[in-house]
Amino acid sequence: MIEAVERIPAWARWLLLAAGLLALPFATEALLGRAWVRIIDVALLFVLLAIGLNIVVGYAGLLDLGYVAFFAVGAYAYALLASPHFGLHWPFWVLVPLAALVAAFFGILLGAPTLRLRGDYLAIVTLGFGEIIRIFLNNLNRPVNITNGPQGITLIDPLKIGDFSLATTHTVGPFTFSAVHSYYFVFLVCVLLSIVISRRLEDSRIGRAWIAIREDEVAARAMGINTRNVKLAAFAMGATFGGVAGALFAAFQGFISPESFTLLDSIMILCMVVLGGMGNVYGVVLGAILLTALPEALRYVGPLQQALVGRVIVEPSDLRMLLFGLALVLMMLLRPAGLWPSRLRQRELAGEPQ
Amino acid sequence: MTAPLLEAQAVNKRFGGLDALCDVSLTIARGEIYGLIGPNGAGKTTFFNVLSGLYRPDGGAFRIDGGALPQGAPHAVAAAGIARTFQNIRLFGNMSALDNVMVGRHVRMHAGILGAILRLRSERDEEAATRVRAQALLEYVGLGPRAGQLARHLPYGDQRRLEIARALATEPKLLALDEPAAGMNAAETRDLRALLERIRADGVTLLLIEHDVQLVMGLCDRVCVLDYGRKLAEGPPAEVRRDPRVIEAYLGTPATA
């Protein structure tokens, strides 16, 4: 199969990929229904998050269990400045970069006190940080109502490019773009951009410094790497992706509340990175898509039982997390380096030179 | 003696109640090969760790090229022109040999995050130049054909050479080697000696910790003997090996061994 793909010339492969990506939301709608286009949109947001976390965990080797905090910060930055809550309606092209900046700031805020921590200790502190942010968002409605507490923020402005609101349906030639389609393309552009950024960083002075820190921090320091700055850069860079994803998420959903940003979400994003193949952007993309789609697909277990046995023996909602966990365990057993490991990790696991 | 390259002035380092280094002063001249010897636990590696900024000294200071050497900041020490290797090889195992050396260039490069993301002209040029330079350094230590291999998969002797290449990539004035010949057979040690002499000929001053007496005696211009954190003797190897205190502390067995 891989050989067959490799026989196709490179330009044709890219063309096929592009055509596939363009057709994907329409084909999905035709085959599986609009709900699945929405799932794909969410998957793309998670891809963005996973790419960001991969910089921190995959490249720099800093185990971050509170990553969802940056997603939350980005989402609230957007929501507060583009909703009736404060009566502000700033344009998205200001808010998305702003969300990125605010998240980067929080990334440094988290990074600074944890510079000397590693492994388990770092994981615990970042976990706490994630929870602190969530609890703040939950409680910053008194005495001054900033975040509107657990009720969350509603009626958030959708992305609007000029007069083109992504929330309404548009017809371009034979194609009908509903909100989920429009957002798909926006998210897709963001994801492609992040892949490029991530790959470029990996092959740069700073990317090598991140990986060097992951491999041996003492040696990295002795080789002249300012580990403080380089680690902060990793935290800030990773957080930036999270912030952008958060802003897009707020615009896409139109509603956010602290409940969307729990520890479980952090762990989920981490699973995507580890499962996909830590350190390899493409693996991480694959992991994010699979882990978003898998729970959705497992919903069909109910109807499947109905069709096969005539009644629902086990509720799909009960089964979902069970099967999900089983799938995770199986994947880690069968492919311990992730589904699509980085070139180097693959070699490492094979234990043979080149 | 030419102007000193490195001066250690009464350097102290204590671990709890243990004086790991006690008022160690020494001067290394530009272009010499200076050996640091002594029994196990004498404080040699501690001296390296303080010098390279991994430990902060409890007293004393270093001067390089007449200027103060930053303390407790390894990256600044590397920038000031001191590079080191480690006794128990510390390579970036899952990076290729070439990437390991390229990391060594970090301190002489300038590209930032934005430059990397935008692939600015200056960043691309710098990357290309770094790659060429790193490959040249690999050739220099005899690892040219190994460039693409993971550091952790290299044979032991090659790993030692790679560490030297990585250290040289920082453009050091002083290269500090912690037991470079440890675990090497006679032939590898001979090659290493030739490499070290070549590095010196190319203008880098060498400081080395070594247990291989023959290597130290044959290679070093001067040696310093440490014992229990104190400087016991200093001078040309032939003199030092005759020093009764040294014989007692360290070369207890016949020095001709």
DSSP string for chain B: ---EEEEEEEEEEEETTEEEEEEEEEEEETT-EEEEE-STTSSHHHHHHHHTTSS--SEEEEEETTEEPPSS-HHHHHHHTEEE--SS----TTSBHHHHHHHHTGGG----HHHHHHT-HHHHHHHHHHHHHHHHHHHHTT-GGGTTSBGGGS-HHHHHHHHHHHHHTT--SEEEEESTTTT--HHHHHHHHHHHHHHHHTT-EEEEE---HHHHHHH-SEEEEEETTEEEEEE-HHHHTT-HHHHHHT--S-TT-
- Name the phi and psi angles at A89, rounded to 5: -140, 65
- Mutant choice from A59, A108, A199, A208 vs B, greatest count of B C-beta within 10 A: A208
Instruction: Give residue A188's Cα distance to chain centre.
Output: 12
Which residues in B lie closer than 8 A to residue A209 (C-beta atoms)? 103, 106
Rounded CA-CA distance A147/A259 in Å is 13
Query: Which residues of chain A have a CB within 8 Å of the CB of B115?
Result: 204
Which letter does DSSP use for residue A256 in this model? B
Q: How many CB pairs under 8 A join A and B?
A: 117
- SS3 category, A45: helix
CB B79 within 8 A of CB B107: yes
Cβ contact, residue pair A344, B94, below 8 Å? yes
**Hey, are the CB atoms on B106 and A224 less than 8 Å from each other?**
yes
- DSSP string of A62-102, one letter each residue: ---S-THHHHHHHHHHHHHHEETTTTEE--HHHHHHHHHHH
pLDDT at A119: 79
- Asked if B163 and B89 count as a contact pair (C-beta separation under 8 A), the reply is yes
pLDDT confidence of residue A336: 77
Q: What is the residue extent of each domain of chain B?
A: 4-81+172-249, 94-156
SS3 for A161?
strand
- Which residues of chain A have a pLDDT value below 70? 1-3, 343-354
Alpha helix (H) residue ranges in chain A: 2-7, 10-32, 34-53, 68-81, 92-111, 119-139, 179-202, 205-215, 217-222, 227-253, 263-277, 281-297, 301-309, 316-334, 343-350
Residues of B in Cβ contact (< 8 Å) with A200: 116-117, 119
Q: Which residues of B touch A211 (CB under 8 A)?
A: 92, 94-95, 99
Nearest CA-CA partner of B59 in B8, B11, B14: B11
Residue B130: CB partners within 8 Å, gap ≥ 6?
A205, B102, B105, B109
Contacts B75 to A, Cβ<8 Å: 221, 224-227
In terms of Cβ atoms closer than 10 Å to its own Cβ (0-12, 13-18, 19+), residue A337 is buried
* N-to-C CA span, chain B: 31
CA B111 to chain A, closest CA, distance in angstroms equals 7
**pLDDT given at position A296:** 83
Task: Write down the mean pLDDT value for chain B.
Answer: 91
Residue type for position B233 = A
What was the pLDDT predicted at A354? 39
Pairing of strands B33-37, B222-227: parallel
Q: What is the mean pLDDT of residues B178-207?
A: 93
Contact B145/B176 with Cβ under 8 angstroms?
no
Q: By C-alpha distance, which of B216, B232, B215 is closest to B224?
A: B232
The pLDDT value given to residue B257: 42
Tell me the average pLDDT across B33-59: 92
List, as one string, the DSSP characters of A237-254: HHHHHHHHHHHHHHHHHS
Between CA A156 and CA A149 the distance in angstroms is 16
Q: How far apart are CA A160 and CA B1, in angstroms?
A: 75
The mean pLDDT value for B204-212 works out to 92
The answer to whether residues B199 and B175 touch, using CB atoms and an 8 Å cutoff, is yes
Q: Which pLDDT score, from 0 to 100, does residue B246 have? A: 82
The strand order across the sheet containing B67-68 reads B18-29, B4-15, B59-64, B67-68
Closest-CA distance of chain A to residue B42, Å: 22
Interface touch B148/A220, C-beta < 8 Å: no
Residue B240 burial (C-beta neighbours within 10 Å; 0-12, 13-18, 19+): buried
CA distance A4 to B159: 39
Residues of A in contact with B102 (CB under 8 A): 208
Gap between the Cα atoms of B190 and B185, Å rounded? 9
Interface of B with A (CB under 8 A): 52-54, 74-75, 78-79, 83-84, 86, 90-96, 99, 102-107, 109, 111-113, 115-117, 119, 123, 126-127, 130, 148-150, 152-153, 166-167, 170
d(CA B20, CA A255): 62
Q: Quick one: pLDDT at residue A179?
A: 85
Interface test with B, best of A108, A194, A204 (most B CBs within 10 A): A204
Element holding A255 (H helix, E strand): none
- How many CA atoms does the CB half-sphere of B27 hold within 13 Å? 7
pLDDT recorded at residue A351: 47
- The one-letter code for the residue type at A59 is Y
CATH of the structural domain B4-81+172-249, one choice from 3.30.479.10, 3.80.30.20, 3.40.50.300, 3.30.830.10: 3.40.50.300
Say what the pTM is: 0.90
Its ipTM equals 0.92
Query: Which residue in A253, A256, A225 sits closest to A60, CA to CA?
Result: A225
Q: How far apart are CA B229 and CA B19, in angstroms?
A: 6
Sheet containing strand B222-227, strands side by side: B82-84, B174-178, B205-209, B33-37, B222-227, B230-235
Give the model's pLDDT for residue B253: 55
